[in-house]
Chain A
Amino acid sequence: MPNPTLETIFAGIKCPNPFWLASAPPTNCGEQIMRAFDAGWGGAVWKTIGEPITNVSSRYSSIDYNGTKMMGLNNIELISDRPIEVNLREIEEVKRRYPKNVVIASLMVESKREVWHDIVKRAEGAGADGLELNFGCPHGMSERGMGSAVGQVPEYCQRITEWVKEAARTPVIVKLTPNISDIRMPARAAKRAGADALSAINTINSITGIDLDTFEPRPNVDGKSSHGGYCGPAVKPIALNMVQQVMGDPEAALPMSAIGGIGTWADAAEFILLGAGTVQVCTAAMHYGYRIVEDMADGLLAWMRRKNFATLDDFRGRSLPNVTDWKHLNLNYKIVAHIHEDKCIGCELCYTACWDGAHQCIHLDRALPHPDTTRTPQGIAAEAPQRITTTPIPKLDLDGAGADGPYLTPLSRIPRVDEHECVGCNLCSLVCPVPGCITMEQVDNGLAPQSWDERVAAGIVPKGVEHSLPNPNA
């Protein structure tokens, strides 16, 4: 097996690797982008070019989680505040010095045919490898009838894409907003208009927090804030879903440059498995710098070697068939939780999660003479303070003191799953801090696979529940 390669062709654009910087502060100017290319980025989508705007200060805000910084980032920064001709001149310079790297010009201008024609020609004239139409920006620009104000209305999306396609000679990528109930609608509109590719998702409307001393929201601009675009690790599941929705829809699917919470090689692999051609990164680069791309490439190549994939095409979209409607899921598939006693550390988080958050089928009764499913967390918590414990005196109390069972963790602290009652929900395995300690094991119940759809077709579901929506005329 030859060494795998990350080289790929996206909508006709040859890319040294699938890692692009998204149109955002990390791609504000040519000096930055050339440093990014030196670090290993395959491409960059230039910070959106249009008539220069005036920004506010401050602009960013984030939320941390349990001591981890920037689980989610939000911004109220607008498009480029630099003159169009400066951006174009720098694109020209970057392309001259880095001809193999991809430069995409992100564009946003007022909704007039000739204005779009003009900017398209100028960007291509500067040497851009492709164009990205910013129909996603959710703050500020949308109030002026641009950005997500366009992306939220499929007809506008289609109209402007058609104008661009009239003038464009390079591939046209339409960037979609997630601030819409069905992202397939603007995607279909873009495809109808002849777009060559899509990128998704742009940022999500958000307020990241309120200052509890001043009662002012963040990011704070002279005591006030505005809804800003949310991104970062927290949005990845939303982005994965939206990418899948578009790529799973034949009327919408186009080459996809995926965006949303990508910061590692594994994130990239997941998006490619759902059909992405390239991935775009912003928050992770804003957090840690351009250097993160080294492991994105290194890690992805190592994974490809382990999986015997020579090119990205070998696994692109491979997981798409595994996403389906709920009605096609096998209702007769049964798994139950299995606790590996030798790995259990005795934190009992699975126990409390199952009792309060799931189905009350994990019990703390291994050290009792008989299984006892009637002991509640409240009962156990009430027993605890009644125990009398003292500081052990070495060589006196500690001698012979050991765990009450064959495992490192005392048997009384290792929870037991009542497999008969377990519904296989996964919650215990999700809260368990120890890798591989709780596994979900399939149980052979002897039943042939059967989905809801099949049950409906077989007429074995209660009447009236097959498909029910309120009748507006009733």
Chain B
Amino acid sequence: MNEPTSFYSQSSQSEEIAARFPDLHPPFDKTAAVAEANRCLYCFDAPCTTACPTHIDVPRFIKKIAHENLEGSAKTILDSNILGESCSRACPVNVLCEGACVLHRYNKQPIAIGRLQRFAMDWLHESGAPLPFTAGADTGKSVALVGGGPASLACAAELRRRGIRAVIYDARPLPGGLNTYGIAEYKLTLGASLREIDLLSQLGVEFHFNTTVDAAMLDQLEGECDAIFLGLGLGAIHRLGIAGEEMQGITNALDFIAGYKSGAITQVSGRFAIVGAGNTAIDAANAAMRLGAGEVTMVYRRGPEQMSAFDFEYEHAKQEGVRFLWHVQPVALKGNGKLEALELEHLETTTDGSLVPIANSRFEFPVDRIVLAIGQATHTELLSGNETKPAKLKLERGRIVIDRGTGQTSNPKYFAGGDCTNGGREVVDAVADGKRAGIAMAAWILSQQTNSPATRDGGQNA
């Protein structure tokens, strides 16, 4: 077998970006980690473990840090969550494990679970220790995974551990999807995402990059493989749908974030308007501030109490110096080829909760750049079929419908997980989906062996 590919060694980080985006939560050193680990009560049936979508055995990995069994600690984490490193940095722990910590009701100081998890994972990477588990004995079975984001990566790991070949197809030049290209650099660097994916290479996961799977290729893969996992993620960010959107100076949050993370953008200037108030909008706003924007304003049609970003993200944006314009919506773009201003109008909420414009409330807001962060479309067109061809599987509002416990779609040979099924949640939710699907897929594929060949091509429950 060839040496596994190291994506990490292929990546290089811009020093300027590193300087502008230092760790938001700097790592623990060993003394701090052991002291924090010793605070853990070691709850039975711990709420933190339940709150984690991947059910990492949190007290167990923390006790192992306290007892200086770091190898065992890292293995405990990876056993439940192959992307334990990125989750330790990117997870909104306040609403997950740390939010569930019983110490909130004890001395109001929850255990710093995220930072402890990062400590164990960093130790594993820095120690040079191999991945603490190996691929299963080859079963001769294979799965194609469409999309190389967290859901597919987690699924592929479960398949490899069960001796099933896992081949990932991704449209981008590097693996990881939004984990690599979409998470604020002060939480998770591009390099750290790739370093973690190197573990999957060690497990024998295969990758095909710059490969967009279309309907024809999907048919081909369906013929070649024993099952298919769809980790498609979401599509493009919605557009405003008003005149002038093609003007220079208008971009979307995902392109903007991927641009600076990959080093294509190292600084910006001028006045920024971020349209939207979700977590991605905040990532984009904070990035603009750190990249040198003169002024960054988030523009949202409702008030702060309705914004979909987590409270701690809103607080963070305020600390970064981001400004906010509430209860307004863009109605026109002003400029002559180059953006000069955003025309906004004030909105009010009616008694039934809908938003209506306030008459004569339009005003011009001078800006040089607009970043759109108003949600992503789905891109499941390759599955939806057409006049001549039935849909591959059941969709609902563009999302793939799955069984929550197994990730199986209405087409038994197809499994799916992550944003393309849930409409866009956290990395850890995608990992949990992928993990459940990987385990269920392996069981399904191996059970097909014992059944008659007729049921193998997806006739069952179709």
What B residues does A380 contact at CB under 8 A? 44-45
B42-60 contact mask (Cβ, 8 Å, vs A): 1 or 0: 1111010111110100000
Contact A352 B306 (CB under 8 A): no
Q: Which of B408-444 contact A (CB under 8 A)?
A: 422, 425-426, 428-429, 432, 436
What B residues does A433 contact at CB under 8 A? 41, 106
Contact A434 B106 (CB under 8 A): yes
Which residue from A67, A377, A394, A409 sits with its C-beta under 8 Å from B38?
A: A67
Q: Which of A325-350 contact B (CB under 8 A)?
A: 345-349
A373-385 contact mask (Cβ, 8 Å, vs B): 1 or 0: 0000100110011
What B residues does A389 contact at CB under 8 A? 50-53, 55, 432
Identity of the chain B residue whose Cβ is nearest the Cβ of A343 in the assembled complex: B105
A66 to B63, CA, bound (A): 10
Contact B44 A349 (CB under 8 A): yes
A370 sits at the interface (CB 8 A): no
Evaluate whether A408 and B50 lie within 8 angstroms (CB atoms) in the complex, with A348-B44, A385-B55 already known. no
Identity of the chain A residue whose Cβ is nearest the Cβ of B55 in the assembled complex: A385
Contact B34 A391 (CB under 8 A): no
Identity of the chain B residue whose Cβ is nearest the Cβ of A348 in the assembled complex: B44
Q: Looking at chain A's contact residues, is the secondary structure mostly helix, strand, loop, or mixed?
A: loop
Evaluate whether A391 and B426 lie within 8 angstroms (CB atoms) in the complex, with A349-B43, A384-B45 already known. yes
Contact B53 A347 (CB under 8 A): no
A359 to B308, CA, bound (A): 49
B31-45 contact mask (Cβ, 8 Å, vs A): 1 or 0: 000110010011111
What A residues does B426 contact at CB under 8 A? 391
Evaluate whether A388 and B405 lie within 8 angstroms (CB atoms) in the complex, with A349-B44, A393-B425 already known. yes
B121 shortest CB reach to chain A, Å: 19
Which residue from A352, A385, A398, A409 sits with its C-beta under 8 Å from B44?
A: A352
Contact A388 B404 (CB under 8 A): yes
Which residue from A347, A351, A395 sits with its C-beta under 8 Å from B308?
A: A395
Evaluate whether A345 and B102 lie within 8 angstroms (CB atoms) in the complex, with A388-B404, A389-B53, A391-B96 already known. yes
Evaluate whether A391 and B428 lie within 8 angstroms (CB atoms) in the complex, with A347-B43, A385-B55, A433-B41 already known. yes
What A residues does B105 contact at CB under 8 A? 345-346, 408-409
Evaluate whether A348 and B43 lie within 8 angstroms (CB atoms) in the complex, with A384-B49, A408-B105 already known. yes
Evaluate whether A347 and B41 lie within 8 angstroms (CB atoms) in the complex, with A66-B66, A384-B50, A390-B53 already known. yes
B273-314 contact mask (Cβ, 8 Å, vs A): 1 or 0: 000000000000000000000000000000001111111000
What B residues does A391 contact at CB under 8 A? 53, 91-92, 95-96, 425-426, 428-429
Contact A348 B45 (CB under 8 A): yes
Contact B106 A349 (CB under 8 A): no
A344-378 contact mask (Cβ, 8 Å, vs B): 1 or 0: 01111101100000000000100000000000010
Q: Which of B307-347 contact A (CB under 8 A)?
A: 307-311
Which residue from B52, B66, B422 sits with its C-beta under 8 Å from A67?
A: B66
What A residues does B428 contact at CB under 8 A? 391
Contact A413 B47 (CB under 8 A): yes
A390 to B106, CA, bound (A): 25
Identity of the chain B residue whose Cβ is nearest the Cβ of A364 in the assembled complex: B45
Contact A349 B41 (CB under 8 A): yes
B395 sits at the interface (CB 8 A): no
A384 to B92, CA, bound (A): 21
B277 shortest CB reach to chain A, Å: 11
What B residues does A390 contact at CB under 8 A? 53, 422, 425, 429, 432
Add 18 more A-B contacts to A377-B44, A391-B428, A396-B308 (CB < 8 A). Answer: A345-B105, A345-B106, A346-B105, A349-B43, A349-B44, A381-B45, A384-B50, A385-B55, A388-B405, A389-B53, A390-B422, A390-B425, A391-B91, A391-B92, A391-B95, A394-B309, A395-B305, A413-B47
State the B residues within 8 Å of A (CB): 34-35, 38, 41-45, 47, 49-53, 55, 66, 91-92, 95-96, 102-103, 105-106, 305-311, 404-405, 422, 425-426, 428-429, 432, 436
**13 A-B contact pairs sorted by A residue (CB < 8 Å):** A345-B105, A347-B43, A347-B44, A347-B102, A349-B44, A384-B49, A384-B55, A387-B55, A389-B50, A389-B53, A391-B429, A394-B310, A395-B308
